[in-house]
Chain A
């Protein structure tokens, strides 16, 4: 079995894991990060894109609010190119108690959050689609954050400092010995090969899957209840400012403009298994009703795609700071010290948290590791920018179009919806070396626009076939698995224009191309049959 050595093994390639890899690599640790799938394919890639100002937490979770206030400013500074400075509004809808606004403002003052009440007329001028029946409005420094861009640049920054980022590597077992964890056995999910990683320390940043990981070290009594949140992307920027309902957090009360769409979210429903989070029609209806309250007519807009993510809600039998099991408990985070709790050294688990505070979570986790190692090294992430953010300029909605217009006459446009040119696509396919078009989707937004891949999937398959020198069978497998992946995100929201689009896509894939009847994968003929014939 192949072996690998590192100072630190990080389990989980979401926002927490990537930020932790960046933090530890900057402090000079030799880092290996593993994820069973692609970067940001779990919870991180399935949220609404809100960079919290903290306003959502000021009334009931002061600690979380204060963390957001500080981290919001830092994230804007270190990952500017992933952040759109949309600003945010908290609005009191006709169904809400206007008096909550006073508690909200009081909370903002206490948390140091710069909020301001503005006249309703001014809020309606800012956002003409807002419910004209709103009673109060407050501005806050919310923003929109591109999670893939963030996670990729954190991982790239870590790699530039020597970290090895191993996606599609699943942890099969933790090695335990000498009173602690000494590494892990992992399997490359693409090749099936196993790999032994010897690590001086192991950081568990696997979120909703964290309990499964610590059980491998024989640790009991920790559970993670997956809290399912669904979000729907609407095909327009129905608002240009993040709009929050000014009330206690409830279902469908946030509308986030992110790139060319706006996402309405979310729910909080206990799921049995973080890998089984189907979206129901009833949940979709709940979201749309919530959205109507903020922006009347939202039901008439085109819904593009629905997805669900799982919050990691920790349950600890030995109810410590990490205990949390409903929406009413802290959205803050805590480091679970398994040396203290379970007598297992060299293993820490990050529990709770949220994307906005990913940097702080990483800092706390690596600080705790340094303390246990007796090797204090200062954190540098507060001021250091990972690659791709050098110019310090915030992302703007027109950036892509501007770049695209510059090459309009020289380059084929493969995905018209998301403005992806051929060379960028080929380059990404080459550097990723992936046969999975869904990996390309996460990196480039391929097929994420209004036509949901109707036109670009065939093109991308043809290009992938050429770039990776695939045979027909491999290319066809990429095509059909991407079609299924895309369907997963659209079938619960097929009505209106998106149903029309889906039928047009059926026309292309079923009618014109007849993908359904691609030749079956070649059957392996057993030796006896060969010799018999």
Chain B
């Protein structure tokens, strides 16, 4: 049986954040995950709060009132201070990360309005430098460039909808550059193509002469995976104007950049991520977990730990499940699931964009992020829950997913480091006394 100070379950935004902060704080950490996490699906913008339900321009200011209106929301647990601390911490991880000088920009004080692949202006707070040039709060002219071989991005559709926003003029062009001669290439394939100087040169040659004087240029978020800063800078230089990326359907290239950066930070701090580990339960003495059981292939392995951070995601990631008799289950540790309507009551409503009674289901926690049952009592003293597993939020509609994952992962690590530090101090005090 291996033994670590902390086992983190899940390798998405929340799990990696908690793990890096813990490892950099001196803890020995093991990240167990079934597979790569939600980073590979996510647009990789740090959305703190975009709609509540009206559009939010200044998320940090709006947080306190928002949390008050939604009791049990993760933002009520971490508070604005938790978000304010976590966001700059995240951006700093990129400073001398493996993709540096690729950087994040922006603050949680205000939202930018960035185009989506269907041409909506979407509020995001902190974003890759390669996306920030798409901020259209003050309008502007945009030429959206796409590729016929990339079926997951439709530049003319995006441009037509962008032009419906006041002050925005946009048009789309589609290029026939075909990496490796294939007709069907996904975002990662294009990102690899952009890492190649010859491909970039070809793209620039096809675009340069077609631009209007005031236009900025948008590309799908595929501008390089090995050295995105260099790819983006070169395109800006050669086209002589701002260039920016628009996130599109998974796999998410900017999300992979986040994963690569955090995993490398973790490695440098002496810890690691181990995939293909399905956590199936906890060994515990009363309310204290002593280790987690993980299935690797056909074997069950127990990893001992003083602390566990559970960050397996929500229903979308398979961290929480619902069976056909409408019983909810947290899959890794068997924690209770809150927010599922009783039998006979409506779980979902008939209008897609309407209200859905079970939209906020998940694991409920107390002020210290410990899981609680229906009676409010802690289930385990040394398990902390972070990210989309948490009950109380509607991350996609609120545009709050990454903010919640980042802030709750960051805070979970802080709570553990504090508790371990004070335990160590009292141990030292006891010896000295």
Contacts and interface: CB of A to CB of B under 8 A. Distances in A.
Interface of A: 278, 281, 288, 299-300, 303, 409-414, 422, 455, 458-459, 461-463, 465-466, 470-473, 475-476, 479, 483-484, 486-488, 491-492, 494-496, 499-500, 503-504, 506-508, 510-519, 522
Contacts of B163: 472
B149 A412 contact: yes
Given A491-B348, A495-B323, A516-B353, A511 B154 contact: no
A469 to B, nearest CB: 10
B366 interface: no
B118 A515 contact: yes
Nearest to A471: B160
Interface string B137-159: 00000000000010111101100
A491 B315 CA distance: 15
16 contacts: A299-B324, A303-B324, A412-B151, A413-B184, A455-B152, A472-B161, A472-B163, A476-B118, A486-B352, A487-B351, A491-B356, A510-B397, A517-B121, A518-B118, A519-B165, A522-B164
B322 interface: yes
Contacts, number: 149
A220 to B, nearest CB: 35
B349 A491 contact: yes
Contacts of A508: 249-250
Interface residues of B, number: 57
A473 B163 CA distance: 10
Nearest to A278: B350
Contacts of B154: 458-459, 461-463, 465-466
Nearest to A469: B156
A496 B322 contact: yes
A459 B158 CA distance: 12
B26 interface: no
Nearest to A465: B157
B117 A513 contact: yes
B43 A518 contact: no
Interface of B: 41-43, 51, 55, 116-122, 149, 151-154, 156-157, 160-165, 182-184, 247-250, 314-318, 321-326, 346-353, 356, 395-397, 399, 401
A404 to B, nearest CB: 12
A473 B349 CA distance: 26
Given A496-B322, A508-B250, A517-B120, 7 more contacts: A411-B183, A465-B157, A470-B160, A491-B348, A495-B322, A511-B401, A518-B161
A409 B183 contact: yes
Nearest to A408: B184
A488 to B, nearest CB: 7
B161 A513 contact: no
Nearest to B327: A495
Kindly name the residue among A288, A303, A519 whose own CB sees the greatest number of chain B CB atoms within 10 A: A519
Contacts of B249: 455, 458, 508, 512
Contact of B395 (A466, A504, A511): A511
Contacts of A462: 151, 153-154, 156-157
Contacts of A496: 321-324
Kindly name the residue among B43, B116, B118, B163 whose own CB sees the greatest number of chain A CB atoms within 10 A: B118
Contacts of B352: 483-484, 486-487
A130 B393 CA distance: 42
A517 B250 CA distance: 20
Top 6 nearest A-B pairs by Cβ distance? A462-B154, A472-B160, A503-B316, A511-B396, A510-B396, A487-B352
Nearest to A510: B396
B331 to A, nearest CB: 11
Nearest to A505: B316
B235 to A, nearest CB: 23
A253 B182 CA distance: 48
Nearest to B47: A511
B182 to A, nearest CB: 7
Kindly name the residue among B119, B156, B317, B396 whose own CB sees the greatest number of chain A CB atoms within 10 A: B396
Given A476-B161, A512-B247, A488 B322 contact: no
Contacts of B325: 299
B29 to A, nearest CB: 27
Contacts of A513: 116-118, 120
